[in-house]
Amino acid sequence: MERESQFIGQSGAFLDAVERTSQAAPMERPVLVVGERGTGKELIAERLHRLSGRWGEPLITMNCAALPETLIEAELFGHEAGAFTGATRSRAGRFEEADGGTLFLDELATLSMQAQERLLRAVEYGEVTRIGSNRPLRVDVRIVAATNDDLPALAEQGTFRADLLDRLSFEVITLPPLRVREGDIGVLAEYFGRRMASELRWDGWPGFADHIREQLDNYPWPGNVRELRNVIERAVYRWADPDNAIAHVVFDPFDSPWKPASAPASPAPSPGAAAPAPPSDLDSVADLRGAVDAHERAILEHALGRHRWNQRQTARALGLSYDQLRHCIRKHGISDRID
């Protein structure tokens, strides 16, 4: 757990969510954790448990989307021997396993209406009944649930029980996406980069080139912190020159000139796979020459990083002569790595 359970960040939005988590942890009430994929919902659930009076009891996790609908209820509430085909012996469900502790239900919105009804009874009365049994069992379980869906909207549409939502939403902690966590991308990139450099037994940490930091800041991060960690760790382990700053990252690991022909074409090149795109808000361009120069410099920096600062390979890739490339490098003052 140590690898995944650290909170890294300094932005106000992130610290507010952590503070609210700490405040809610001692309360014996359900908590809903809402956020995009990769924002750290599991970490919040763990923090809620560790800072509560239940910290010495079990923290049981169940991903509601990982099991077929036919098995969800058996996993949650358990079953008796012979309750259904394949049930050769009795089995305790997750509620019984979490008795005295915390039950973390990830991907809550994927529960069927029937499972939601049984979950509602468990939350309201503190009782569960194994499948195939008529005898309810008392359980003392705190529910922490997570979702990346809009549960109030689903309740209005009739696909999620409004009464269950009412009982689970004593507190709702909404995690900010990485793209709005001002200043945190650089902090996280340094953390993940240093950790990977240590794993590779590098003598030191060279850091990232300036144009890479800019690319990291400008990328939208649909996969949030989980995606950032993969991008940074991949960039470090692929970098063969630990004495110099890392000058190339790949945002899309599937991008390749040898991608299978049947694969659908990407609607737009990723920042790590192609030259940076020109500004999307063309009305904001007040200095045409400055904008063109900035774009040309970004292309050069990206291409040099991709080819590990091999200027001859970079020149071929950009359709330039070696002398033309050297002139462009000097023109933009990109680096002092001139032969």
Q: Above 80 in pLDDT, residue 234?
A: yes
Q: Above 60 in pLDDT, residue 3?
A: no
For residues 311 and 55, the model is more confident at 55
Q: Above 90 in pLDDT, residue 32?
A: yes
Residue 293 Cα distances to 287, 288, 298, angstroms = 10, 9, 9
What SS3 class is residue 75?
helix
CATH architecture of 182-260+272-332: Orthogonal Bundle (1.10)
Mean pLDDT confidence for 295-300: 81
274 pLDDT tier (thresholds 50, 70, 90): very low
Burial (Cβ within 10 Å: 0-12, 13-18, ≥19) of residue 153: exposed
* pLDDT at res. 323: 79
Q: Which of 2-11, 88-97, 146-155, 204-213 has the lowest mean pLDDT?
A: 2-11
Mean pLDDT confidence for 238-244: 93
* pLDDT at res. 270: 47
* 157 contact partners, CB below 8 Å, separation of at least 6: none
Mean pLDDT confidence for 36-40: 95
CATH of domain 12-81+93-176: 3.40.50.300
Residues 300-335 pLDDT 10s: 777 777 766 778 778 888 888 877 888 888 888 886
Query: Over the chain, what is the mean pLDDT?
Result: 87
For residues 288 and 181, the model is more confident at 181
For the chain, the structural domain boundaries read 12-81+93-176, 182-260+272-332
73 pLDDT tier (thresholds 50, 70, 90): confident
* pLDDT at res. 202: 96
Asked if the domains 12-81+93-176 and 182-260+272-332 are classified in one and the same CATH topology, the answer is: no
Q: Above 90 in pLDDT, residue 84?
A: no
* pLDDT at res. 272: 43
pLDDT above 70: percentage of residues in the chain: 88
Could you write out the three-class secondary structure of 233-287?
Answer: HHHHHHCCCCCCCECCCCCCCCCCCCCCCCCCCCCCCCCCCCCCCCCCCHHHCCC
* pLDDT at res. 85: 76
Mean pLDDT confidence for 264-293: 57
263 pLDDT tier (thresholds 50, 70, 90): low
| Whether the Cβ atoms of residue 209 and residue 202 lie closer than 8 Å to each other | no
* pLDDT at res. 330: 81
Task: Measure the N-to-C terminal CA separation of the chain; round to a whole number of Å.
Answer: 48
pLDDT above 90: percentage of residues in the chain: 63
Mean pLDDT confidence for 115-124: 93
